[in-house]
Amino acid sequence: MTRNLTQTRELFEKAKQFIPYGVNSNFRYWGEEDTLVVMRGEGSHVWDVDENQYIDYRLAFGPIILGHGYPPVVERVAEAIRDGTLFAWTTPLEIQVAERIVRLTGVEKVRLSNTGTEATMHALRIARAYTGRERFIKFEGQYHGMYDYVLFTTASTPASALGSRRNPINVQMSSGIPEGIRRYVINLPFNDFERLEEAVEAHWHELAAIMVEPILGNAAGIMSQPGWLEKVRELCDRHGIVLIFDEVKTGFRVARGGAQEYFGVKADLVTYAKAMGNGFPIAAIGGKEEVMMVIEPGRVSHGGTYTGNTVGTAAAAATLEILETEPVYEALFQRGQMLMDGIHEILNRAGIPHFVTGLPPMFSFILGVEEEPVDFRGYCTGDDPLYERLAMALLERGVMLDCDGREPWFLSYSHSEQDIADTLTAFEEAVKAVI
Ligand code: PMP
C-alpha cells in the first residue's frame, strides 16, 4: 500500500530551492521522503497536492476546532476585511472579542496578540514587571513558543539530556540562544509535588512566574494529576508568584473556559491562541485586573503592529460566538471518546501495552508503557519508533496525525461519527501492518 506522491515530491524539490528545507517551520519537516505538500482542506479532511485525501487529526497542531474552511468563520472574515484590514486604532470588533473572552474564561482584562509565542512572551514580561523578579519555573516537556527564554528542556529534548530528577538540567533546544539566558529558567518534572515545593521554597524571592501547560499539549496530552494545579496555585499565593496558565493548546478546546474551567483552578495570567481563531492568526493574554493593569503605556511594553488586525479578530469573533452558542464541546467529547475507546480496544486486542492520555478534544496514547506516564520523563519511556511506524501506516490509509508521538490528536466539530468509524477501521489495519 503506497500513496502516489509524485506531485508532492516535485513541489517539495521546488520548495527547497527557495525555502530552507522546504518548510516554514522546522516542526513540519518530516525528511526528504515524507514531508507533505498540502493543497486544501474542508471540514475534517485535507488533501495533498496528489489529491490523496486524509481525515485530519493533526489539525495544524490544534487550531482547527470547527473544521477546515468553516463557512461561517470564512464568511465573517471575508465580509469584515472589505472595510480594511488594519487601522492601529481600537475597533468595535476588538471590543466584541475581548468582551466574549472575559465572559467565557473569567479573566478580567484581555489584550490581543497574533501568535502563541507572542502571548506567552508578553505574559512573562507582565509577570516580571508585576513582581520585580526575573526567574521563572516551567516544566520539562512544555513548549511555550519560539523565543529564547523558554527554549529550554522542551518536548524536543532527548531523555538522556534531562539530568537527574533531583537536579534537572536546563537543556537548550537550539543554537543561537545566548548562554546567560539559561539562568532565568528553572525546569522541573511535571506533577512532582515534592520537587516543586523544594524549588519554590529555595527560590521564591527570585521567581516572577510559574508557567504551566495544565495539560502537556506538547507531550502527548499528559494530564495534571489531582491536586497538582491547586498545589501550584497555593505556592504562587504563598510567595507572591504570578501563575501563568499557557492555554495556547487547551484554551477554548477542552472547555469553553479552557483548562481553568475544566480543572476549576484560576491563574493570574492566561495565554490563548490556536482554537480561538479556528486557524486564523490571533492570540490573547488575559488575566486578573491587578496584574494586567501593569501594561501601562510608556512603562511596561505590550504591542505589535498587527495586534487586533481585522483578519484574526473577525475570525475570533465568529469562532468564539459559535463555541458559545453551539454544542461544540458535547460533540468533541462524544466523538473523541469514541475514538479513544476504540483505539484502546484495538491496542488491547493486539496485545500492545499502552496508556491513553489527555481529554477527548485533545488526546493521545503512549505505546509500550505499563504504567501511567505523568511527566515528560514518563513519556520518554514509551516506544516512539513504534508510534511513528503506526502513524505512517495510518497516513497510507488516509488518516493524518503527526508522526511525532508528542503531538496529540485533535478533534474538530466537523469530525463525524462516520469519520471516527473509518479511522478505527484504518487503525485496526495499521496496527496489523506494524506489529
Ligand atoms: N504554547 C503552547 C502550549 C504551544 O503548544 C505553542 C505552539 N504549539 C505555543 C505556545 C506557541 O504558539 P505559536 O506557534 O502560535 O507561536
Separation in Å, CA 395 to CA 4, 55, 398, 400: 12, 9, 5, 5
Q: Name the helix (H) or strand (E) containing 435.
A: none
**Residues contacting 49, CB < 8 A, separation 6+:** 7, 8, 11, 37, 38, 39
C-alpha cell at 385: 519508533
Residue 395: φ, ψ to 5°:
-60, -40
Q: Measured from the CB, is residue 145 less than 6 Å from ligand 1?
A: yes
Tell me how far the alpha carbon of residue 3 lies from the centroid of ligand 1, in angstroms. 31
The pLDDT score that the predictor gives to residue 75 is 98
Tell me how far the alpha carbon of residue 11 lies from the centroid of ligand 1, in angstroms. 28
C-alpha cell at 416: 463525524
| Among 393, 429, 431, residue whose Cα is nearest residue 3 | 393
Question: Is 14 noted as a catalytic residue in this protein?
Answer: no
Where do we find the cell 509524485? 6
The pLDDT score that the predictor gives to residue 2 is 86
Euclidean distance between the first and the last CA atom of the chain, given in angstroms as a whole number: 16
- What distance in Å separates the CA atoms of residue 30 and residue 21, rounded to the nearest whole number? 10
Greatest pairwise CA separation for the chain in angstroms: 63
Question: Is 143 noted as a catalytic residue in this protein?
Answer: yes
Q: What is the pTM of this model?
A: 0.98
CA-nearest residue for atom 5, ligand 1, is 249
Best residue for ligand 1 mutational test, from 250, 274, 376 (most atoms within 8 Å of Cβ): 274
Q: State the catalytic residue, choosing from 138, 274, 329, 419.
A: 274
Write the DSSP string, 279-313: TSS-EEEEE-HHHHTT--TTTS----TTTT-HHHH
Per-residue pLDDT of the chain (435 residues; tens, 9 = 90+): 689 999 999 999 999 999 999 999 999 999 999 999 999 999 999 999 999 999 999 999 999 999 999 999 999 999 999 999 999 999 999 999 999 999 999 999 999 999 999 999 999 999 999 999 999 999 999 999 999 999 999 999 999 999 999 999 999 999 999 999 999 999 999 999 999 999 999 999 999 999 999 999 999 999 999 999 999 999 999 999 999 999 999 999 999 999 999 999 999 999 999 999 999 999 999 999 999 999 999 999 999 999 999 999 999 999 999 999 999 999 999 999 999 999 999 999 999 999 999 999 999 999 999 899 999 999 999 999 999 999 999 999 999 999 999 999 999 999 999 999 999 999 999 999 999
- What distance in Å separates the CA atoms of residue 141 and residue 216, rounded to the nearest whole number? 7
Burial environment of residue 56 by CB neighbours within 10 A (0 to 12, 13 to 18, 19 or more): buried
| Among 113, 193, 108, residue whose Cα is nearest residue 375 | 193
Tell me how far the alpha carbon of residue 179 lies from the centroid of ligand 1, in angstroms. 23
**Residues contacting 5, CB < 8 A, separation 6+:** 48, 50, 52
| DSSP classification of residue 226 | T
- What type of residue sits at position 123? A
Yes or no: say if 300 and 125 are a contact pair by the CB < 8 Å rule. yes
Tell me how far the alpha carbon of residue 375 lies from the centroid of ligand 1, in angstroms. 19
**Residues contacting 294, CB < 8 A, separation 6+:** 126, 129, 130, 300
